[in-house]
C-alpha cells in the first residue's frame, strides 16, 4: 500500500489542500510519483479535456519534472482531489500547447 501525496496551494488568502492518488496505470511508463507531483504542482499548462460519453473529464498537466524532463500527467477528479491515471514523456500531440505555455 502506498501513501497518498498532498498538494498545498494558496487561492487568495486561503490555503487549499488537494489529495493526489495514483492508479496502477499511472506507473506504466515507469515515471515516479514525485516527478508527476512536481508537474501537477508547477504545470506549464493545465487543461481539461471533456470525457467521452459516460467517462469523466480528464485533467491534463503538462510541465517539466525537477530535471527538466517534459511530462504529461492525466488525472480524473475524485471527491478528495485527483486520481492520476497516466504519466509519460510529453508526446508530439501535446508539444504545441506545452511550447505555447513556455512562452
pLDDT confidence bin for 13, thresholds 50/70/90: low
Between CA 78 and CA 73 the distance in angstroms is: 16
2 has pLDDT over 80? no
pLDDT confidence bin for 52, thresholds 50/70/90: confident
Compute the half-sphere exposure of residue 89: CA atoms within 13 Å on the CB side of its CA. Answer: 4
For the chain, the structural domain boundaries read: 5-102
Question: Which residue, 25, 26, 63, 32, is CA-closest to 47?
Answer: 63
Q: Name which residue leads in pLDDT, 55 or 31.
A: 31
Digit-coded pLDDT (tens) for 65-96:
999 999 999 999 988 889 999 999 999 999 99
Mean pLDDT, rounded, of the chain = 86
42 secondary structure, DSSP code: S
pLDDT of residue 1: 37
pLDDT confidence bin for 8, thresholds 50/70/90: low
Total residues found in the chain within this entry: 103
4 has pLDDT over 70? no
What is the helix, strand, coil percentage profile of the chain, to 5? 20, 45, 35
Amino acid at each position: 500500500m502506498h501513501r497518498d501525496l498532498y498538494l498545498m496551494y494558496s487561492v487568495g488568502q486561503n490555503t487549499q489542500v488537494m489529495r493526489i492518488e495514483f492508479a496502477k496505470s499511472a506507473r506504466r511508463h515507469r515515471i515516479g510519483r514525485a516527478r508527476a507531483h512536481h508537474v501537477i504542482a508547477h504545470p506549464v499548462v493545465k487543461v481539461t479535456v471533456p470525457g467521452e460519453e459516460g467517462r469523466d473529464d480528464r485533467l491534463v498537466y503538462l510541465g517539466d519534472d525537477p530535471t527538466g524532463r517534459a511530462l504529461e500527467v492525466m488525472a480524473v477528479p475524485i471527491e478528495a482531489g485527483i486520481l492520476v491515471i497516466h504519466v509519460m514523456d510529453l508526446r508530439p500531440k501535446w508539444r504545441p500547447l506545452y511550447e505555447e505555455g513556455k512562452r
